[in-house]
Each structure stands twice: as C-alpha cells, then as structure tokens.
C-alpha cells in the first residue's frame, strides 16, 4: 500500500478515476486534494429530515451540526474496475482554526458515488460563510493497494442505491433524532507520538495532526497570563491616575499664580492713579504759586513806576505785563491809559 500524491491524483482525474467529476487542479496540494462544499445540506441540529439546496452561502449557527454534500464525485477503482484505491478524509488546519470540525471519514475501495460529510461548529457564534463549489471543507488522502491486498469491491447500500450516483445518499428516516455528535479527546499525546511507528499512512496522519496542534497553539506561549495582563492594566491605570493628579495640582498652582498676578496688577493700577492725582495736585499748586508770585512783583513794579514816573508810566507797564501774561493776538491795540491821580 502506498500514498498517491497530488500529481498522480491529477493524472488519474484526467482519466475519470479517483475524482471523476468536479476536479479542480488548484486544489492539489502535495499529498492531499482539498475537497469543496457541495450544493446540498441537512441540519441535524434543526431536525431536518432531508437535504435541501444551499441558499447562496452556508453559515453554521453556534454549535450547529450539519451534513453537507461533497462537491467532488469519486471513482476509487482502476480502468478495469478493480477496487485498487481508497480514501481518508481529514479536517484541514484552516477549517479547525475557524472553529469548524468534522470526524475523519474513510472511503471504501472501489467507491463510485457522491458522499457527504458531517460538519460541526464548535464555537458559540456563527461560523465563517462557505461558498458552494469553492470553499475547502476537508483534505482527501488517497492510498493505492497492492494487487495482493485488493478487497471485495464496494457495493451500494440502500442509502446510495435509492439515489443516483450524482446525488447525495438518502438520509435514514430517524437520522435527525440522533444526538448531536461531540468530539472527544480520547487519544493521549504519547499515543500520537507512537503512531508514526505503524508506518504509512499513519505517519502522514500524525504529521498532519502535529501541524494542527502547532497552528492552534501558535503564539499562545508568548501571550501573558490573564492575571498578569490584569495586573499590567491596573498598573497602567494607576500611572494614568497619578499623572492626572499631578496635572490637576499644576493647573491649581498656575491658577493661584494668575490670581496673584491680577492682584498685583490691580495694586499697580491703583498706585499709578494715586501718583497721577498727586502729581496733578502738586502741579496745580506750583502753577498757582507762580501766578501769585508774578502778580506780587507786577503790583510792586507798578507801584514803584507810578511813584517815580507818574500814572501814565504805571498804566503802560501794567498793560505790557498783562499782554505778556495773557498773550493777546498781534491785532490787539493797546489804548493809552489816562492818569487821573495826583503825583
């Protein structure tokens, strides 16, 4: 027995063998062929007793279990009809990472029909949408038997004989009453480590499961634990609170400084006004003193002039001094004064 690689699967599909219909070359990948979603679905969780057409996209509800048609049609026999091939359907890592799983399924040697697969959404929210004929839902590993290992050819069961080779098998009448299938972890890590010793195809299956485990746990070891993360968030919140208190204290200090500056400005304005008023009072007093002093000397001069030169001289001096103090316009004419006093 040996594994048939993807290149050989493509060559056989060209002859109508292994995958006789709906083969897609881009789905070949190393040792595997990626199977795609067919057009029929039956929800076990919803109690549907028959298959129905997929309406656009298929999206599994939280915890929902469905039977889906596999888009590819199989012919696991050689050109002479000998049951030389058989298949093993396993879940892909991307499907599992999206929270959807299905049990591993073996396809009997010589199988020639359309078959189905059971999908279960393991999460408590809707799954990703699956497109008919495009979305990959499983991996097919094809194995070729040696001529001395050939079993009896696969024979149609009633589930397949009641439908055509291009249609999904008939559903058992009470299949919708079956309890929901739940995967159980019954295999230990030690058993998985010993599995490659059994030879092919179990060594390939073990490598596939190990890759599953690696992808599903990728990055988990680098992530901090929940208590550590909570402690980190609390520390950050405390730092933010301390910074906010410091900013609030600084804002209060600046507010007090602004108030003090405003008080100083008011005091300066008041002092300036007092100084200005005092200057005006002193200036007015000086002006008044100058006027009184001038008047005194004028009167003294007029008295002396009158005594020495007569009334006309005194009147003339008085008029000239008045002109110089009142600053009349140039057109002003001084009238001669008449002296009526007796010398």
pTM: 0.49
| Spatial CA neighbour of 47 closest among 229, 180, 216 | 180
Compute the distance between CA of residue 331 and CA of residue 341 in angstroms, rounded to an integer: 30
Instruction: Spell 170-199 as b/e; 16+ CB within 10 A means b.
Output: bbeeeebeeeeeeeeeeeeeeeeeebeeee
The least confident of 10-14, 194-198, 279-283 is 194-198
- Indicate the DSSP class of residue 166: T
% of the chain surpassing 90 pLDDT: 22
E strands, the chain, are 2-4, 18-21, 28-29, 32-43, 52-53, 57-58, 65-70, 73-75, 85-90, 100-101, 105-107, 116-121, 130-131, 136-144
Compute the distance between CA of residue 31 and CA of residue 51 in angstroms, rounded to an integer: 32
**SS3 assignment, position 340:** coil
**Which of residues 10 and 203 earns the better pLDDT score?**
10
- Could you read off the pLDDT of 3-44 as tens digits, one per residue? 999 899 999 999 999 998 899 999 998 889 999 999 999 888
What the block records as the tokens of 244 is 């906010």
What the block records as the tokens of 293 is 């002093």
- Could you read off the pLDDT of 215-269 as tens digits, one per residue? 766 655 555 666 777 788 888 888 888 889 999 999 999 999 999 999 989 999 9
What the block records as the tokens of 250 is 């600084």
- Could you read off the pLDDT of 73-88 as tens digits, one per residue? 999 988 888 888 999 9
Compute the distance between CA of residue 306 and CA of residue 300 in angstroms, rounded to an integer: 10
Q: What's the pLDDT band for 112 if we cut at 50, 70, 90?
A: confident
Compute the distance between CA of residue 55 and CA of residue 214 in angstroms, rounded to an integer: 35
Cα separation values, 41 from 54, 78, 156, Å: 6, 30, 21
């Amino acid at each position: 027995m040996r594994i048939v690689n993807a290149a050989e699967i493509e060559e056989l599909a060209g002859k109508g063998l292994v995958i006789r219909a709906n083969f897609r070359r881009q789905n070949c990948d190393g040792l595997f062929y990626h199977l795609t979603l067919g057009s029929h679905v039956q929800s076990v969780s919803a109690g549907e007793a028959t298959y129905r057409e997929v309406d656009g996209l298929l999206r599994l509800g939280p915890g929902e279990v469905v039977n889906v048609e596999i888009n590819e049609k199989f012919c696991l026999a050689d050109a002479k009809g000998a049951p030389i091939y058989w298949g093993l359907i396993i879940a892909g890592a991307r499907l599992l990472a999206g929270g959807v799983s299905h049990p591993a399924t073996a396809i009997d040697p010589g199988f020639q029909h359309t078959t189905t697969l059971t999908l279960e959404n393991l999460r408590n929210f809707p799954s990703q949408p699956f497109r008919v004929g495009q979305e990959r839902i499983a991996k097919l590993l094809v194995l070729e038997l040696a001529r001395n290992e050939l079993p009896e050819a696969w024979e149609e069961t009633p589930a397949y004989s009641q439908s055509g080779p291009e249609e999904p098998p008939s559903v058992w009448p009470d299949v919708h009453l079956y309890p929901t299938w739940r995967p159980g972890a019954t295999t230990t890590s030690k058993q998985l480590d010993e599995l490659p010793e059994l030879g092919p195809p179990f060594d390939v299956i073990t490598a596939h499961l190990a890759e599953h485990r690696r992808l599903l746990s990728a990055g988990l070891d680098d992530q901090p634990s929940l208590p550590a993360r909570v402690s980190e968030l609390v520390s950050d919140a405390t730092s933010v609170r301390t910074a906010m208190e410091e900013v609030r204290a600084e804002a209060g200090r600046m507010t007090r400084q602004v108030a003090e500056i405003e008080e100083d400005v008011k005091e300066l304005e008041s002092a300036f006004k007092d100084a200005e008023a005092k200057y005006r009072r002193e200036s007015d007093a000086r002006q008044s003193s100058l006027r009184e002093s001038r008047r005194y000397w004028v009167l003294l001069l007029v008295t002396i002039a009158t005594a020495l030169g007569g009334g006309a001289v005194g009147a003339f001096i008085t008029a000239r001094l008045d002109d110089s103090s009142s600053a009349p316009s140039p057109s002003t004419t001084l009238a001669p004064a008449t002296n009526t006093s007796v010398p």
